[in-house]
Every structure is written in C-alpha cells, then in structure tokens.
Amino acid sequence: MCGKPTSVDDGASETGWIPVCDLARLKAETIVRVAGRDMLVIWNDGNVVACDRACPHEQADLGRGQVTAGRLLCPRHAASFDLRDGAITAGWPSPPLRLYPVRITGEKIWIETSQRRSGR
C-alpha cells in the first residue's frame, strides 16, 4: 500500500512543521512514507495520522503494514496499533507507537516533527 516517498522541503519551518503530501494522494494510497524521515502519514477512516515508521516492538517497517478498523497492523508479527493513541495490542511487551501532530492547509498535509501528539 506504500507509494514512493514524498519529497520534503528541506527548508522546514523553525517550528518543526513540514509539508508531506496532498490529501488526495494519501486517500488513494492509505500509507505514505515521508522522504528523509523515518515517519509515515496514514489515512484512517477520514482522519490523517502521522507516526514513526519503525515498529516499537522490533523495528519492522510499518510502511509495509496495513490499516484496518482504526489499527495499523505490523507486517512482522501479529501486533497492531490503535491509531488514536498508538497503543499496541494488549499483552505485547512494547511501548506505544509514537504519533505526531498533523494539520491540513487546503489540500496539503503537514506534520510537526519535533513534538509527540498527546493520546486520547
């Protein structure tokens, strides 16, 4: 489901917000890798979520995962992450998936790369 990485404006703003891709592209591809950063943006049931690309369990590439029922499934093991707060499937010995703030201006998706988004 991954498309090719998007280009990132190297002149990122001082506040850490960087443009990622257009909303139409994310809706079409569901998961978009952020070029130059180990991050993903995900289309999840009408919402945009930004997260780390590496699974916090054993570092699998979540860009190869799948989104279903509000969860991101890791391609290596059977665990999945709640896309509202990053929580891993109950019983797995792993910290939550790190999420980042997102904003949309017009059709462009931006992510804040220096701050963690608060959970639910």
By CB under 6 A, name the binding residues for ligand FES. 55, 57-58, 60, 74, 76-77, 79
| Cα–Cα distance for residue pair 22/94, rounded to 1 Å | 32
Cα separation, 14 vs 113, in Å, equals 11
Tokens of 52: 């780390």
Nearest approach in angstroms of CB 74 to ligand FES is 3
Nearest to ligand FES of 17, 33 (CB atom): 33
Identity of the residue, 18 or 40, whose beta carbon is nearer to ligand FES in the bound complex:
40
Q: How far is the CB of 98 from ligand FES (least distance, A)?
A: 13
CB of 61 to ligand FES, least distance (A): 9
Q: Which is nearer to ligand FES, 37 or 57 (CB)?
A: 57
